[in-house]
Amino acid sequence: MEAAIKTVVGVFLKSAKGKENLGAKEFQSLVKNQLKNILVGTEDNEAVKNMRKDLDNNQDGKVSFQEYMTLIGYLAESVSTQRCRENESQAESSAQETAAANAEPQQAEPKEEPKVEPQAEPQAAKEEPAVEEAAAEEEKPEEEKPEEEKAEQDEVQPAEKQAEEQNKPEEAS
């Protein structure tokens, strides 16, 4: 940490060439040479000029050591945020890889057959006798059928007999 602080101060003093502030040319040279790998747009003179203006709080056209430290603080925070995101995405990738690796053996194993609930069989058994009862009801002789069904059949039979009688004379002619 001490070495990093000495480097930050040394870069400023060397770029300022013994002065208290960085002029436009000195600031541009510092950004292009020292921050090209960490800061986007260092080759764009207009972008560097706008950065200098944004840092120049007292509007004197120069970057003081305090204003320079504002830039360093901003860059340090950006690097920290970027590394945290990289660590999070690496952790997510590792978690996904682990989950995928754990899922592969499970897919290879045969799945157990689903168990039939005990309730499913009695329901099916209840339905079958109802069907059988209806079929048996139709096959019962007339004496065993309920009186309502007999009455319905008696009403239908005379109508059927009339239809049969009407069809007979036509067949004869």
- Condensed to tens digits (0 to 9), the pLDDT of residues 98-130 reads 777 777 655 555 555 544 444 444 444 444 444
Is 110 part of a structural domain of the chain? no
Q: Is the pTM of this model over 0.75?
A: no
Is 137 part of a structural domain of the chain? no
Q: What CATH number corresponds to the domain at position 10?
A: 1.10.238.10
Residue-number span of the structural domain to which 94 is assigned: 2-99
Is 108 part of a structural domain of the chain? no
DSSP conformational letter for 21: E
User: Where would I find the H helices in the chain?
Assistant: 2-16, 24-34, 45-55, 65-108, 120-139, 147-172
Confidence (pLDDT) at 130 = 47
The count of structural domains within the chain is 1
* 45/32 Cα distance (integer angstroms): 9
The predicted model gives 88-104 an average pLDDT of 77
Is 57 part of a structural domain of the chain? yes
Is 70 part of a structural domain of the chain? yes
Is 135 part of a structural domain of the chain? no
Helix (H, G, I), strand (E, B) or coil at 22: strand
* 91/107 Cα distance (integer angstroms): 24
The predicted model gives 139-163 an average pLDDT of 53
Decide if pLDDT at 168 tops 90: no
